[in-house]
A and B are shown apart, each in its own frame.
Chain A
Amino acid sequence: MVELLNLVYHCLVLALVVLGLAVVFGMLGVMNMAHGEFLMLGAFSAVTAQSAGLSPLWGVAIAIAVCGVVGWVVERLMIRHLYHRPFDTLLATWGLSILMREVIELFYGRGYQNVDMPFTGSVALLGVAYPSYRVLLMAVLVVLFAALALWYVRSPSGARIRAMVGNPTLAQAVGISTTRLATGAFVFGVCTAGVAGALLAPLVRVEPAMGLDYLLNSFFVLVVGGLGSLAGLAAGTGMIGGTQVVISNLFDQTSGYLAVLAVSLLFLWLKPNGLIARR
């Protein structure tokens, strides 16, 4: 039972981590190498909240504010000029990621930071004791993803985004301001990365270089799932997260990691558009 809960937890968290990149890379075509660094900013928001004597959960609000401002500035000054040049976005955001790490190092030093668990202890779930913060996180994520899916499918903004992703020229022709929409999507994407960092901070190691861990897995999920849709995100998450958890439980962690690499390579080779291809 614990294994099942671990699987669900792992997939939900993975989906949250990848969500931002799914928007920025999947929909806007920006290969955001600084994705992990926005997550790191979120984690340090929780550190900042805690050191100010607040609950680390205030880090979520700080993360949205910080990532929102940084994301907006970066989009205006850098990303905007690079749409439709994926390789250049890769180089530019790679530079950005180094800058972000160095700035955080300057203020917080290179060492590990601790963020306390807002809720300790465990609750009984499906007949086993499971850490309460994880249970809370799972509940929040289920609600969040349900709301997001509904908004994306039903709301006018969701329709405009889908129009922009499907055919930017036609979307512009029918009066959709794709420039503003793209700014909004980019800021939304990096904000979700920040929120992920703030929510995960009590569970993981927090340090300036932590972002690198999350980047690679995020790209794997998108490669396997396919770009440009929430369904692709869900499929990729299930595939990568499921493979890792199941193989790690059956054999060992090394096999789990190898299996993830093997699956990603197979998809790049045999099904480069992923499980759910946009076109």
Chain B
Amino acid sequence: MNRRRIIQGGVAAMLGMPLLSRVSWAASSPIRVGMLIPESGPAGLFGPSSRNCTELGVQDINARGGVLGRPIEVLYADGGLPPAQAAQAALRLWRGRKVEVLIGMHDSAVREAVAAMLDGKLPYIYTPTTEGGGCAPATYVIGETPQQQLLPVMPWLAQNRNVKKWYLIGNDYVWPRDSNVVAKEAIAASGGEVVGEEYLPFTVDNFDASLGRIRDSGAEGVFITLVGGASVGFNRAFASFGLPAKALRLCTLLEENTLLGIGAQNTEGLYSSTGYFATLPSGAARQFADRYRSTFDNAKAPLNGLAESCYEGLLLLEAMAAKAGSLEPKATEAVAEGLAYEGPRGRIELLGRYAAKNIYLAESKGTEFEIVQTFENVPPGQSCTN
């Protein structure tokens, strides 16, 4: 063996070494999952409970052997930032920390910015309640759409609670406005009528003028798409004026935190329609809620549907990777249609990159939700065909 040979061999070995070590490193190292949840801003309230549900998901999946034979590891970024900044945070997770999939629980303005930034190069699972609308490649929207929360529910209320005259009130942005378009469709289909429609800026904390209009309108039902603090303030004032005796209230973004803030004195006749409640009676749901309460301080970060949607996002990731055998965006797109899994919410099935699921209608009893009706396997009412 001459000197040149030895040098060649040595160089080849040196070049090969990192390659080899990278392969072995990849086989044992965890799959990194980027988690975009609100840590600041108005939705920052849901940060701690979302983190808790994510931790439970990581535990469960790793106990079952992980994803693609590798354990998963979650890296967090703040989804409560303005859209451009949140997309930057997601970009750092992707390019800097090498996450292989992104799961998001944040508002839809952030979703649009993140989807545009990713441009289909990373699978992206969007989990919370949403007006829908987006159809970016390799983006999967598993949250409740207005079609799911309203089309079966309003006719049911017309029939069983005799609510025909509806007053629509919401904050002034895209989700309430899109929800009300669907609400009008659902009200018309159930033979009812809309007696008022109103949008409030986020800054409003005095609802007297709106309450006066609701009383004068003769409404039998008020469909509320006020969010967070506005919902708390409105519902408290609504009850203090004795309006629950006149009209029932229906919300599509009323979860356990907000209900606690509204308070037991003020929740008579207050309904919520959504895909998850901490009080869901099924075995899987009860087991999940029990584990949450025994692991975390439920008083400080109450279990709620938005937080639980992070757990659902991880379950979809697990099912998707198992069926596709990889986390390449194209591979996930190829297996997405009809992909299904079972979780605390029941069976979830992807259709047109949205999700069919059970919708639960609950009536507030004090500060607990009591399920009064289950609508099974409700189609998403939106789909992506591209």
Interface residues on A, range: 35 or more
| Contact between A204 and B201, CB atoms less than 8 A apart | no
| Contact between A131 and B240, CB atoms less than 8 A apart | yes
Which residue of chain A is the closest to B203 with respect to CB atoms?
A: A257
Measured between beta carbons, the chain B residues less than 8 angstroms from A115 are 263
Q: A117-B240, A204-B236, A207-B229 are in contact. Are A111 and B201 (CB under 8 A)?
A: no
| Contact between A129 and B201, CB atoms less than 8 A apart | no
Measured between beta carbons, the chain A residues less than 8 angstroms from B263 are 114-116
Measured between beta carbons, the chain B residues less than 8 angstroms from A257 are 201, 203-204
| Contact between B241 and A6, CB atoms less than 8 A apart | no
In whole angstroms, what is the CA distance A10 to B204 when docked? 13
Q: Which one of A173-181, A189-197, A242-250 is at the B interface?
A: A242-250
B180 within 8 A of A: no
B329 within 8 A of A: no
| Contact between A114 and B229, CB atoms less than 8 A apart | no
B302 within 8 A of A: yes
A254 within 8 A of B: yes
Which residue of chain A is the closest to B216 with respect to CB atoms?
A: A2
| Contact between B300 and A205, CB atoms less than 8 A apart | no
Q: Smallest CB–CB gap between B193 and chain A, Å? A: 20
A238 within 8 A of B: no
Number of interface residues of B (CB under 8 A): 38
A170 within 8 A of B: no
Measured between beta carbons, the chain B residues less than 8 angstroms from A133 are 240
| Contact between B240 and A111, CB atoms less than 8 A apart | no
Measured between beta carbons, the chain A residues less than 8 angstroms from B367 are 114
A81 within 8 A of B: no
A110 within 8 A of B: yes
In whole angstroms, what is the CA distance A213 to B264 when docked? 24
Residue from the list B200, B206, B258, B262 in contact with A254, Cβ < 8 A: B200
| Contact between B212 and A2, CB atoms less than 8 A apart | yes
How many contacting A-B pairs (Cβ < 8 A)? 103
Most chain A CB neighbours (cut-off 10 Å) among B229, B264, B302: B229
Which residue of chain B is the closest to A250 with respect to CB atoms?
A: B209
B44 within 8 A of A: yes
A232 within 8 A of B: no
| Contact between B205 and A112, CB atoms less than 8 A apart | no
| Contact between B240 and A134, CB atoms less than 8 A apart | yes
A256 within 8 A of B: yes
Q: B interface, by DSSP: helix, strand, loop or mixed?
A: helix
| Contact between B199 and A254, CB atoms less than 8 A apart | yes
Measured between beta carbons, the chain A residues less than 8 angstroms from B66 are none
Measured between beta carbons, the chain B residues less than 8 angstroms from A108 are 300
A203-232 CB contacts (< 8 Å) to partner B: 203-207, 210, 213
A230-263 CB contacts (< 8 Å) to partner B: 244-245, 248-249, 252-254, 256-257
| Contact between A213 and B208, CB atoms less than 8 A apart | no
B120 within 8 A of A: no
A48 within 8 A of B: no
In whole angstroms, what is the CA distance A205 to B258 when docked? 10
| Contact between B237 and A203, CB atoms less than 8 A apart | yes
Which residue of chain A is the closest to B267 with respect to CB atoms?
A: A114
| Contact between A114 and B262, CB atoms less than 8 A apart | yes
Which residue of chain B is the closest to A205 with respect to CB atoms?
A: B232
Residue from the list B199, B209, B300 in contact with A111, Cβ < 8 A: B300
In whole angstroms, what is the CA distance A169 to B122 when docked? 69
| Contact between B261 and A203, CB atoms less than 8 A apart | no
| Contact between A256 and B209, CB atoms less than 8 A apart | yes
In whole angstroms, what is the CA distance A27 to B175 when docked? 45
B379 within 8 A of A: no
In whole angstroms, what is the CA distance A232 to B264 when docked? 40
Q: A114-B263, A254-B199, A257-B204 are in contact. Are A6 and B212 (CB under 8 A)?
A: yes
| Contact between A205 and B301, CB atoms less than 8 A apart | no
In whole angstroms, what is the CA distance A231 to B262 when docked? 36
| Contact between B242 and A111, CB atoms less than 8 A apart | no
| Contact between A116 and B265, CB atoms less than 8 A apart | yes
Indicate with 1 or 0, residue by residue over B8-27, a CB within 8 angstroms of chain A CB atoms: 00000000000000000000
Q: A134-B240, A253-B201, A254-B172 are in contact. Are A111 and B45 (CB under 8 A)?
A: yes
Q: A203-B236, A205-B236 are in contact. Are A117 and B265 (CB under 8 A)?
A: yes
| Contact between A111 and B302, CB atoms less than 8 A apart | yes
B381 within 8 A of A: no
In whole angstroms, what is the CA distance A120 to B240 when docked? 7
| Contact between A253 and B204, CB atoms less than 8 A apart | yes
Q: A116-B265, A203-B236 are in contact. Are A248 and B209 (CB under 8 A)?
A: yes
A95 within 8 A of B: no
In whole angstroms, what is the CA distance A253 to B202 when docked? 10
Measured between beta carbons, the chain B residues less than 8 angstroms from A9 are 208
Measured between beta carbons, the chain B residues less than 8 angstroms from A6 are 208-209, 212
Additional A-B contact list (16), CB under 8 Å, known A204-B233, A252-B198: A2-B212, A6-B208, A110-B301, A111-B302, A113-B261, A116-B263, A117-B240, A117-B265, A129-B242, A131-B241, A203-B236, A203-B237, A203-B240, A245-B206, A245-B209, A248-B209
What are the nearest 7 A-B pairs in CB distance? Answer: A112-B261, A114-B263, A109-B300, A205-B232, A248-B209, A6-B208, A131-B240
A sample of 22 inter-chain contacts (CB < 8 A) reads: A9-B208, A109-B301, A112-B258, A112-B260, A112-B262, A114-B264, A114-B367, A122-B241, A131-B242, A134-B240, A203-B240, A204-B233, A205-B233, A207-B261, A213-B205, A245-B208, A248-B206, A248-B208, A248-B209, A253-B198, A256-B204, A257-B203
